[in-house]
Amino acid sequence: MRESRLRPAGLAAAAAFFVILLSIPGEGRQPAGQEAPPLSPDGCTVVMVGRDASTDGSTMTTHAADCLRCDFTWTHVPAADHRPGEMRRIYRISPHAKRPPTEEQYAGLDIPQVPRTFAYHQGVYGYLNEHQLAIAESTIDTRPRMRNETPGPAFTMVMLTMLAMERCRTAREAIALMGSLAEKYGFGCYDTGEMLALADPREVWVFEIMPVGPLWTPRSGRPGAVWCAQRVPDGHVSVCANESRIGEIDLDDREHFLASPNVVSYAVENSYYDPSSGRPFNWKKAYSPVERSAASSGGGSSRLWRFYNLVAPSLKIDPATPNMDLPFSVKPARKLSPRDVMDITRDRSQGSPFDPVKGIQGGPFRNPNYLPYGFEADGKAYGTTRSISVNRSEYTTLTQCRSWLPGPIGGLVWLAFGALDTSCYMPFYAGVTELPESFGIGDHWQFDRKSARWAFDYVDFHVQVAYAFAIEDVKACQQKWETAALDEMPEIEQTAQELYRKDPGQAAAYLTDYCVSTAGRVVEAWWDLGDRLLVKYNHLHVYDTEKKKAESVKYPESWIKAVIEIDKPAPLKKQDH
């Protein structure tokens, strides 16, 4: 996910710029040994777990919506029946736009409606529907002259995920639908390259799609997008961190690869791939080449390396390994539980060469949120760690799809608002028929106690003051509420199955009541936690409310020594102590 740069009214002006780009010789070719330009820092991380790589046989995906300014509200979209001849209106929707879409976002296109659309839960994107189709998103880059920010394409990624949620039961169905719509009506507008993790109870797929340049029109007779999909092996895990993940492809192996008809020909026509070179076609090298590694970027592009370092440490992947050479997926050292995946999504590269609190960078209270972006000083550029978890998240999702349970019970999305290190995962089953009212309230520009999101931001704000101390209070609350939810799952699901066999409607009502009430208690607990943190660490002291005592926080000796070394204060004489 990245911030859109053009509004609909200004899209037409972009076409002329991209026509000029087409005439630049060698556009998109990275000179040997030269560092690729940095990606947008406000990108998203996606973790994927195949069913045989999880402890319970579920497929899992995560999406950290690290957008900073996107619409963070969530809604439930109910299932609906539609009359013959009814049409579905298509909108060009940006991740930053408030929902529902307005007439200004109408793409000028209507497509035939299906007889019945499925129920699903929606944030910025559609995430989980009643048939256990799950989606997670990460923006990836593409060659500049492939971008199409004109009004020509009808589809954006947001709209494609909504249609997939409404119409598809499996990952393969979603790939086929989104790919065909993008080919016929065009893809782009707000989006450059996009990656989706598509999961159902049996499979997990990486789906990557890109525009085909600003000169494309629906009348061209050519596909309006180029796309490719690769299946994550059932016993493997994978990750996407704003970089294309699909390498060499085998189009004869339809069990593991799917693609648009122009997947190779478009690259040949634009000199992105030379079939006479003797080298096999490589998707990411053709359409999204980068020359960076965890080491060369100063930690700015270290998420891929860090993930593999966490799940398969025996591989001993060198941080200097180019990201383009990292594997598509790996078999983890051990199977991952939902709790393991939650922990990975909270990872801050602690203990690694890219630990953001090493030295004095984290300040006296070891705060990993300082220096979140690279910087320049004295004419030199410096990279800083971009960890898996960052403090600019809108929310993070963890989906589970489980083949042995009915769709409304087997599908589960865990949702945590705001910065993940100070937030809490809350469970919502696919069969839930409504979300808490507080989930649909709020924006970034006005504090609102009716908004669930602001409860978690309220805690996060107070943690920053004395991070090393306050984060321990948060971890205790996370442990209490998340562990309780994980431990309750077997009993909740057994009861739901018994009700489902009698009446699916009763099961839905039961799950809805459980999820909404649980979330309500968590949100209330976080408002209370924020109040307690404000009091406890007021004035950089630690206030004991029971003993009515206050002590100054303790500053680490290493930081004190750094102050002496840098500021060089004169030591006091003994009589002045």
Give the number of C-alpha atoms closer than 13 A to the C-alpha of residue 275, restricted to the C-beta side.
7
pLDDT of 573 reads: 84
Question: Residue 263 above 80 pLDDT?
Answer: yes
Closest CA to 401 of 164, 127, 126: 127
- Determine, yes or no, domain membership for 176: yes
pLDDT of 16 reads: 38
Question: Residue 40 above 70 pLDDT?
Answer: no
- Determine, yes or no, domain membership for 450: yes
Q: What is the percentage of the chain residues whose pLDDT exceeds 70?
A: 92
Mark which of 382, 417, 445 sits at the end of a domain: 382
Give phi and psi for 306, each to the nearest 5: -60, -40
- Determine, yes or no, domain membership for 536: yes
Render pLDDT for 163-183 as a digit per residue (tens, 0 to 9): 999 999 999 999 999 999 999
Same domain flag for 377 and 410: no
Interatomic CA distance for residues 121 and 514, integer angstroms: 16
pLDDT of 270 reads: 97
Same domain flag for 250 and 293: yes
Question: Do residues 156 and 206 touch, judged by C-beta distance below 8 A?
Answer: no
Residue at token pair 């319970």: 56
Q: CB neighbours (10 Å) of residue 321?
A: 15
- Determine, yes or no, domain membership for 392: no
Question: Do residues 64 and 388 touch, judged by C-beta distance below 8 A?
Answer: yes
- Determine, yes or no, domain membership for 576: no
Same domain flag for 347 and 410: no
- Determine, yes or no, domain membership for 454: yes
* Amino acid, res. 385: T
Same domain flag for 77 and 129: yes
Confidence of residue 97 (pLDDT cuts 50, 70, 90): confident
Same domain flag for 415 and 378: no
Interatomic CA distance for residues 432 and 484, integer angstroms: 19
- Show the CA angle centred on residue 330, arms to residues 328 and 336, nearest 5°: 125
Number of domains into which the chain is organized: 2
Q: What is the percentage of the chain residues whose pLDDT exceeds 90?
A: 83
Same domain flag for 211 and 257: yes
Where in the sequence is the domain holding 494, given as residue range(s)?
Answer: 405-550
Confidence of residue 404 (pLDDT cuts 50, 70, 90): very high
Same domain flag for 126 and 272: yes
- At 374 the three-state DSSP class reads coil
Same domain flag for 423 and 358: no
Least confident of 26-40, 240-254, 423-437: 26-40
Same domain flag for 439 and 373: no
Interatomic CA distance for residues 179 and 170, integer angstroms: 14
Q: Can you name the residues that pair with 412 across neighbouring β-strands?
A: 400, 429
Same domain flag for 413 and 375: no
Render pLDDT for 510-532 as a digit per residue (tens, 0 to 9): 999 999 999 999 999 999 999 99
Same domain flag for 411 and 377: no
- At 127 the three-state DSSP class reads strand
- Determine, yes or no, domain membership for 574: no
Interatomic CA distance for residues 40 and 1, integer angstroms: 9
pLDDT of 42 reads: 57
Pairing outcome for strands 541-544 and 80-81:
unpaired
Predicted TM-score (pTM) of this structure? 0.92
Render pLDDT for 302-344 as a digit per residue (tens, 0 to 9): 999 999 999 999 999 999 999 999 999 999 999 999 999 999 9
Question: Residue 432 above 50 pLDDT?
Answer: yes
* Amino acid, res. 78: P
Interatomic CA distance for residues 468 and 473, integer angstroms: 10
- Determine, yes or no, domain membership for 162: yes
Interatomic CA distance for residues 469 and 255, integer angstroms: 50
Question: Do residues 335 and 349 touch, judged by C-beta distance below 8 A?
Answer: no
pLDDT of 68 reads: 85
Render pLDDT for 471-491 as a digit per residue (tens, 0 to 9): 999 999 999 999 999 999 999
Report the interhelical angle of 303-311 vs 338-345 (nearest 10°).
150
Same domain flag for 355 and 452: no
pLDDT of 19 reads: 35
Give phi and psi for 477, each to the nearest 5: -70, -40
Closest CA to 131 of 141, 118, 144: 118
